[in-house]
Amino acid sequence: MDSEHPATDFPVTHCPSCDTEVLCHLDLDERDTEILRCVECSAAIDAASVRWLDLHDLEELGYGYVLPPGGCGRPGCGNGRCGRASPDGDAEPQA
């Protein structure tokens, strides 16, 4: 993976097997060489086809950030006291 991209960017490519735009991830092949794979079907991806998107751009591809069921991890979160935005864009109610 290219270290010149910020840690907040995500690798995305067109997967020929899925025939759609997908996230990809780093893996090792049978010789322990780094390769990229589709997160949907695990097909090997050509590194030259990867582009980098930030979190907000991923929504256009159908990916999104969702808070876990227990909340964001702060004390009291998940009990209606979280100040983070909910997936629909509205702030969670404050207690």
> Residue ranges per domain, the chain?
10-61, 66-95
Summarize the confidence of residues 72-85 as an average pLDDT.
60
Share of the chain above pLDDT 90, in %: 45
**Is 50's pLDDT higher than 80?**
yes
For residue 55, give the H/E element and its range.
helix 55-58
pLDDT for the residue 1? 47
The C-alpha angle 54, 52, 17, rounded to 5 degrees, equals 115
More reliable by pLDDT, 76 or 88: 76
Q: Give the residue, 29 or 4, on which the prediction is more confident.
A: 29
Q: Is the pLDDT of residue 51 over 80?
A: yes
The sheet carrying 44-45 orders its strands as: 44-45, 34-38, 20-28, 10-15, 51-53
Give the C-alpha separation, 95 to 83, whole Å: 10
Task: pLDDT band for 37, please (50, 70, 90 cuts).
Answer: very high
pLDDT of residue 25: 94
